[in-house]
């Protein structure tokens, strides 16, 4: 099930490039260090995590509901150091069997998921017993102007995305 928001997806890719230069890439490397085997990445966006997966990862299954971001992720697959498959899907309804993955990665996505408990329950469902959950999320900025921008982007956007 797709969530179409082409303006936001293009803005996000530009904004993310600035974030990467300001240290987000270091957070991503740290987040993914030590992962191995089968990994699901929920809300993969345009694929900024892909270059940072360690060689011990046998396969990444990336789930992204926004078509423009999913298309960009598909392009990012070509330079990933490990095999990556990109799928359409929602965090709250992952299209995979129970106990399918050794690890799950959620990176800057929970702020756009309307039903976070359902999404986390789905992640738990698809993780094998003893599997790892790795997440990287932002918090409200202490700078008032930036906090207002976050509020404008984070809160109303998912309501507009959902059917």
Neighbours of 12 (CB within 10 A): 22
Terminal-to-terminal C-alpha distance of the chain: 10
Give pLDDT tens digits for 66-112. Answer: 898 999 999 999 999 999 999 999 999 999 999 999 999 999 888 78
Q: What is the pLDDT of residue 19?
A: 66
Closest CA to 50 of 17, 11, 82: 82
Task: Say how far apart CA 69 and CA 75 lie, in whole Å.
Answer: 10
Sites in the chain below the pLDDT cut of 70: 1-24, 138-141, 146-163
Longest Cα–Cα distance in the chain: 43
Residue pair 62/87 in contact by the 8 Å Cβ criterion:
yes
């Amino acid at each position: 099930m797709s969530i179409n928001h082409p303006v936001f997806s293009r803005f996000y890719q530009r904004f993310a490039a600035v974030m990467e230069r300001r240290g987000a890439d270091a957070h991503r490397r740290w987040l993914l260090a030590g992962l191995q085997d089968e990994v699901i990445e929920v809300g993969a966006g345009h694929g900024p995590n892909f270059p940072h997966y360690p060689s011990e990862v046998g396969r990444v299954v990336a789930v992204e509901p926004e078509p423009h971001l999913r298309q960009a992720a598909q392009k990012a697959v070509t330079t990933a150091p490990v095999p990556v498959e990109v799928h359409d899907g929602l965090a709250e309804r992952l299209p995979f069997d129970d106990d399918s993955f050794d690890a799950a990665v959620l990176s800057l996505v929970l702020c756009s998921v309307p039903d976070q408990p359902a999404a986390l329950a789905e992640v738990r469902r698809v993780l094998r017993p003893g599997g790892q959950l790795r997440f990287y999320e932002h918090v409200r900025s202490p700078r008032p102007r930036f906090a207002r921008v976050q509020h404008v982007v984070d809160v109303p956007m998912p309501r507009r995305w959902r059917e």
